[in-house]
Amino acid sequence: MVCSVAPDYQDGRFVCLCPKFRWKPKKGYEGTAEDREMLERHGWRQASDTGGFVYWVGPGRAGIVNLYEDGTWSGGPVVFDDLEDYLDWYTSGQPLPQR
């Protein structure tokens, strides 16, 4: 079953508005020691919410990055497969590369 209605943000959580459908976000985690060092070196800071979701807040207008225990990540432009490539690009101030 696929929900076609955008979730609503209620009490700090996204809630699916479709009947009989539960939307459960993937929880991020703090990352490995290497991940943490790399993110901090690029100016990102770890944060978490009351639900136990851990994420990284970027400098300036960078937004957030989520790290997942399976080694994947989300939050940057889709042109970057590698987190370090994204962080290097962001801190360089260069235009967004084309895929």
Which residue segment(s) compose the domain that 36 sits in?
A: 26-92
CA triplet 79, 7, 13: central angle to 5 degrees? Answer: 95
Give the span between the Cα atoms of 23 and 41, in whole angstroms.
34
Give the span between the Cα atoms of 46 and 28, in whole angstroms.
11
The whole-model pTM stands at 0.72
Number of domains in the chain: 1
* Domain-embedded: residue 10: no
* Domain-embedded: residue 75: yes
pLDDT tens digits, the chain, 99 residues: what are they? 566 777 777 766 677 777 666 656 788 999 999 999 999 999 999 999 888 889 999 998 888 999 999 999 999 888 899 999 999 999 998 888 876
3-state secondary structure of 45: strand
